Structure 1
Amino acid sequence: MRRLPLSALQAFEAAARTGSFRAAGEELGISPSAISHAVRKLEILIGAALFERQSRAVHLNVAGEALLRHVTAGFDELRQGIETVGARSGNLLRLHCAPSMAAQWLLPRLRDLLAAQPGLEVRLAAGVDYPRFEHDAFDADICYGPPRQEGLITVPLGEETVTPLCAPEIAARIATPRDLLEQTLIESDNKRVRWAGWFAANGLSPPGPRGARFDRSFMAIAAAVDGLGVALESTRLAEREIADGRLVRPLAGRASDIGYVGHYLVFPRVAKARRPIRLFAHWLTRELGLPEPAL
């Protein structure tokens, strides 16, 4: 171990994860040949080949796969230890969030969170990919749909109500669920609750596709505000537009809405020891009127 350089282990981990000496070099800021030399040095020091080398890619062999599991766990422990004693570790929250939840719900409340927790620093990224917490880029994620990685602490963020929403001038023409068959329906392609499900819940067959389609709820909500049609969206995500009258629920009390748990707060078990995670989890559940999680 005294002769084993940390840089060689870093090169090995990056090459194993990316499957390429070139990609690993770009990530670490060194040349592909430097990655190759570092990996070769590691193989010589431990006395075992770790990769099956091909012309443009490398693949772990059985020994490499075994070593990678331990190296990954070791790097995770190192990061956790450095964060624990780091000067800013008590204040920094690196958060990933589903795009529409970030834009429609979280950002409007961020000022209140920072005011309630002086000194807390938030780095927020919004994307459709599910972070797997393997590379320590994020502390927590508010994901849409159940998390895809096992071994995480998962906090369901309560039931959301999905209902037709539209501008007031359009609502005047809608008195029953059947009236929606004559309206332009805005479709959100990535929603777990779609128009077909809503019409089925109200005893109707859905009309054929027509109208605008979007892959994010925040765009569908904006389109409904602009009068492009009727959107089927969560009242949580559209709460500001409903509160200020830009959107209304034309069938409130006259149709069956759909309730479902759409979003989850997730983070690795080791992260629950960090103060920013605990603060955020408790603040988030309070804002949503949910029981505080036992962390």
Structure 2
Amino acid sequence: MTSIRKLPLPFLRVFEAAGRTSSFALAAEELDLSPSAVSHSIRKLEETLNLRLFQRSTREVKLTRDGAVLLEHVQRGLDEMRRGLALLANEGPSPLRLHTAPSFATQWLLPRLSGFVRENPNIDLRFSASTDYARFENDDFDLDIVYGEPKPSPHEKIPLALEKLTPLCTPELAGQIRSPEDLYAHTLIQCDVQMFQWKGWFEANDLTPPSHYGLHFDRSSMAIAAAVDGLGVVLESTLLADRELKNGTLATPLLGRTREVPYIGHYLVYPKRYHHHLAFDIFKSWLLKELEIEPDGADRSQDDASS
């Protein structure tokens, strides 16, 4: 049996990064090393342990069974060291760090957050919102809620609620809109970063898209706010506009009379680790419950919609 004293800690840190990302190149980028240095460290660790930790091919590296077992325990050990250093520094429990798409944060998450804080007063939450993806490699964030399907990565991803795009406007304007053709007489608010826009909605309803839109925004939250102020009709997600629909500041004049555009707009992304932040599972379970999503990622609202 190999003594722990013969295992240099830097080799284990390199192994953890390579095992978590399933990539020597990504591990090298994360640790500011060359890919050859990562490969050398892994090879030396395998020689020291007399075990094969990775299956290598020209296209990928994959943990062996022994490698997966070792990774779980190495991650646990590194987490314990981080907690110990935090306690010595009198930092207390580390915060749960969440990165999120801006409009999801302001339109859906923040209005519901009081319930989570009330149920979990001892969890320290840190939020950051931007359209960029979170960089888990630098240990900056624990979770990320992104708009649009994430680009390929070694991270875990869970599709969130099935969203529906439908025309939204004030109740006063809604009284003037009885058919899709009535939209031609109104200012249409366009969100330019939205995956599906007015053009696609008109085509889905066998209508010619207008050639002009009165207002353009690069955030759904701004487009929804403009509709609340009576500036026109916005094509938006009923999920993001849930608060406005419930309080009556927005209405759905054509819901049920036209084809809505259903799509998965947001995804929960987080690093593939065996041991996460202590509050990770609590927040993840709360989020999925609020979105009526089963723990395995199945969206109950999709079943409701098809029944």
**Could you tell me the TM-score, scaled by structure 1's length?**
0.73
Deviation at 1:220, TM superposition (A): 0.1
Deviation at 1:65, TM superposition (A): 3.5
Are the aligned partners of 2:170 and 2:228 in contact in 1 as well (CA < 8 Å)? yes
Q: Which moved more, 1:148-157 or 1:204-213?
A: 148-157
Are the aligned partners of 1:165 and 1:247 in contact in 2 as well (CA < 8 Å)? yes
Other-structure match for 1:155: 158
Other-structure match for 2:129: 126
Q: Does 1:223 align with 2:223?
A: no
Other-structure match for 2:15: none
Other-structure match for 1:278: 281
Other-structure match for 2:235: 232
Which consecutive aligned stretches of 4+ in structure 1 deviate over 3 angstroms post-superposition?
A: 68-71, 76-91
Distance (whole Å) between structure 1 residues aligned to residue 275 and residue 170 of structure 2 = 43
Other-structure match for 2:250: 247
| CA gap 1:208/1:96 in 2 versus in 1, 3 angstroms | same
1:66 counterpart letter in structure 2:
S
SS in 2 for 1:163: strand
Other-structure match for 1:108: 111
Select the residue among 202, 207, 210 that pairs with 1:204. Answer: 207
Q: Does 1:188 align with 2:188?
A: no
Q: Number of matched residues?
A: 242
Other-structure match for 2:17: none
Provide the identity percentage. 44
Are the aligned partners of 2:161 and 2:264 in contact in 1 as well (CA < 8 Å)? yes
Select the residue among 26, 37, 50 that pairs with 1:67. Answer: 37
Deviation at 1:143, TM superposition (A): 0.6
Distance (whole Å) between structure 1 residues aligned to residue 215 and residue 39 of structure 2 = 47
RMSD of aligned alpha carbons: 3.2
Deviation at 1:275, TM superposition (A): 2.4
| CA gap 1:66/1:81 in 2 versus in 1, 3 angstroms | farther
Are the aligned partners of 1:186 and 1:213 in contact in 2 as well (CA < 8 Å)? yes
| CA gap 1:276/1:149 in 2 versus in 1, 3 angstroms | farther
Structure 2 unaligned segments of length 5 or more: list them: 1-7, 11-27, 42-70, 298-307
Structure 1 unaligned segments of length 5 or more: list them: 7-15, 19-23, 25-49, 51-63
Deviation at 1:89, TM superposition (A): 7.5
| CA gap 1:109/1:167 in 2 versus in 1, 3 angstroms | same
SS in 1 for 2:231: coil
